[in-house]
Structure 1
Amino acid sequence: MNKHGIISLGEVIVDLIATDLSNTTFQRLLGGATVNVAVGVSRHGIPSYYLCKLGSDESSEFVKGQLTKEKVDLSFCSYDFNKEICSVYIHLNELGERYFHSYVNETPDEWITAEELDLEPFQKSKLFYFGSGTLFHPIARKTTEQAIHYAREENLKIAFDTNIRLKRWESENQCRETILSFVQKADIVKMTEDELLFLTETDTIETGLEHMAKLEIPYLFVTRGKDGAYAIHKNKIEHVPGIPVNAIDTTGAGDAFMAALLSRFHDNGVPNNEAELTEYTEFANKAGALSATKLGAL
């Protein structure tokens, strides 16, 4: 069977961005790191499957419409009448700068469950991708473990973006320990420089990479914004410079990086040498840089 496609597992978030300084009217946009990657994968021309729980409220209909328009396959999502989509309110201050105002989740325990996961997309696809944004919740954590089990059974490459949001965790230790346990289940891992230092409890990137090397991650990518990224394979470290751009909004740049990187792994397989690994990282750097030249995570 010819396999094509990338599965993304996560949670959809609707960003409500204030349109003026009164902070009373809002523009509604799709949000969430795994959504950004699923859409990015689709825009690279790769079959993109998104796994989450959706409801029947207006926000769920908005999400379904937007993702369908982006050719993201929602056939294997689960549905529950009670589920309400999470919202993040972004307000404007007196200078017109955006800032996080509030996070609203009326159904915090409604997640796609391990029992609701369908094996079919894993039989069709080449890669499975997930982030840490839902791992704080035991139901979502169990679902992720089941998805990893299916991915291993079906010989998919497993990709993980640490993408840490500390406000969602009970403690720094719980966050660190959980994420490190999942890092060791993945073939491809992406993290920012700050996340590397947090996870390894170090204060320099060199020391952080030394600590992370002990986990023997097959392919590790550490992003540094405008300064490019490190690609690490078999303890060989390649620094790939960033692409200079006039950055307007860096939200979602890391997700654009990840989607581009996964598209290379999907289309070309694992890199066979340092030159190919560098080319994959250059391609991802370009995607991340270009995404920063326009407003919005997508």
Structure 2
Amino acid sequence: MEQMFDLVSLGELLIDFTPAGISPQQNPLYEQNPGGGAANMAVAAARYGLRCAFIGKVGDDFFGHFLKETLQQVPVDTSGLILSRSHKTTLAFVKLQPNGERDFSFYRKEGADVMLQKDEVDFSLIDRARALHFSSLTMTNAWSKEATLAAAHRAKLGGKLVTYDANWRPLLWESEAQCRASMLEGLRHCDIAKLSREELCYLTGEEHTEPGAKKLLTMGPRVLLVSHGEKGSRCYWEEGRIDVPPCPARAVDGTGAGDCFFGNAVAALLQHDFSIQKIDPQLLREALTYASKAAAYCVERKGAIPAMPTPADLAQV
């Protein structure tokens, strides 16, 4: 019998080079960390206890093999991961600010993650899953955009829960117009979307989240999770809103914290048979409260995937 999955995540899997001190010659040192928003999402949900699979592409190089092995150790199923001999694994260099916030420099032109083609997607993984996750970052290239939207369409036709991360990275787009249009297109293919307050304001032109959220809820998603960083998060749906306070944390590295938050929120909802057709506010609140605790754990540690907690980890803090 073929394995069934709770969540399949499609998108970017890459190397984050994160600051790791200064060399004896006084040069910055960087540590090789596994990352990528879609992969982080799968790992967060798998660490929660869900059965997860990943669809994407990395280079057939030592970075790509390291990333594949990292997912398998979690474990996340990698039968949908392509090892490309034509394209290299994408790299991202992270600069950390004193408060844990980050700036990124991407080495991604024709990187493997954005060269995923529609005919390389294992749609049977989506058919055997309860939910599909994707983000805007695989829509920066025409081929991977086609593959991403085809996957989202397949999931929708199959009655799967579809989750989406807007994940605004302006430097990865050819133009501001392409960036905004594609990010909005992703919203039209999902049930639950996660955005930062800045992303919501950018997409709607609204200065405040309330009117912006109302606009986006007319475009496709039934639920919006809006992160406010140190101020916590808000959840919007047609009939209501929930405010979730932040968990106190001494931020060291914010890399992957948003993915950790979203992955744990979705995992908690799936664990309790959340229905997008009949939204349970109490279940939403409990899931987001747990996710907030998970994100606080993540920011207190370096790296993205290495910092994703299990329920046992959170029980000890």
The TM-score normalised by the length of structure 2 is: 0.85
Give the corresponding residue for 2:291.
Answer: 284
Q: Classify the secondary structure of the residue corresponding to 1:75.
A: strand
After TM superposition, list the pairs within 5 Å mapping 1:88-237 onto structure 2: 88-90=92-94, 100=103, 102-105=105-108, 107-108=110-111, 111-215=115-219, 217-237=221-241
| Counterpart residue type for residue 205 of structure 2 | E
TM superposition shift of 1:27: 1.7
| Counterpart residue type for residue 193 of structure 2 | V
Give the corresponding residue for 2:20.
Answer: 19
Give, in whole Å, the separation in 1 of the partners of 2:244 and 2:282.
11
When residues 202 and 112 of structure 1 are mapped into structure 2, their CA distance, relative to the original with a 3 A threshold, is same
Give the corresponding residue for 2:246.
Answer: 242
TM superposition shift of 1:108: 3.7
TM superposition shift of 1:143: 0.2
TM superposition shift of 1:250: 2.0
Moved more, 75-84 or 28-37: 75-84
TM superposition shift of 1:217: 2.2
User: Where does structure 1 lack aligned partners over 5 or more consecutive residues?
Assistant: none
Q: Classify the secondary structure of the residue corresponding to 1:8.
A: strand
Moved more, 3-12 or 194-203: 3-12
Moved more, 100-109 or 218-227: 100-109
| Counterpart residue type for residue 70 of structure 1 | V
TM superposition shift of 1:100: 4.6
Q: Percent identity?
A: 26
Over residues 204-258 of structure 1, what are the superposed CA-to-partner deviations in whole Å (9 max), with x where a residue is unaligned? 2233223223325211111111211111122412212221222222221111111
User: Where does structure 2 lack aligned partners over 5 or more consecutive residues?
Assistant: 306-317
Over residues 97-147 of structure 1, what are the superposed CA-to-partner deviations in whole Å (9 max), with x where a residue is unaligned? 996574223634762211111222112211000111121111111001110
How many residue pairs were aligned? Answer: 297
Give, in whole Å, the separation in 2 of the partners of 1:98 and 1:263.
25
Give the corresponding residue for 1:293.
Answer: 300
Over residues 143-185 of structure 1, what are the superposed CA-to-partner deviations in whole Å (9 max), with x where a residue is unaligned? 0111012212322110001011010112222111111122021
| Counterpart residue type for residue 120 of structure 2 | E
Q: Classify the secondary structure of the residue corresponding to 1:261.
A: helix
Give, in whole Å, the separation in 2 of the partners of 1:274 and 1:180.
26
| Counterpart residue type for residue 297 of structure 1 | A
Higher relative contact order (CA 8 A, sep 6+): 2
Give the corresponding residue for 1:75.
Answer: 79
Give the corresponding residue for 2:11.
Answer: 10
Give, in whole Å, the separation in 2 of the partners of 1:216 and 1:87.
32
Moved more, 19-28 or 191-200: 19-28
Asked if 1 retains the 8 angstrom alpha-carbon contact of 2:11 and 2:135, the reply is yes
Give, in whole Å, the separation in 1 of the partners of 2:289 and 2:262.
12
Q: Classify the secondary structure of the residue corresponding to 2:80.
A: coil
Over residues 4-30 of structure 1, what are the superposed CA-to-partner deviations in whole Å (9 max), with x where a residue is unaligned? 321111121112234343446432111
Give, in whole Å, the separation in 2 of the partners of 1:243 and 1:101.
25
Asked if 1 retains the 8 angstrom alpha-carbon contact of 2:5 and 2:53, the reply is no
TM superposition shift of 1:263: 0.5
Give, in whole Å, the separation in 1 of the partners of 2:287 and 2:20.
38
Moved more, 117-126 or 251-260: 117-126
When residues 3 and 9 of structure 1 are mapped into structure 2, their CA distance, relative to the original with a 3 A threshold, is same
The TM-score normalised by the length of structure 1 is: 0.90
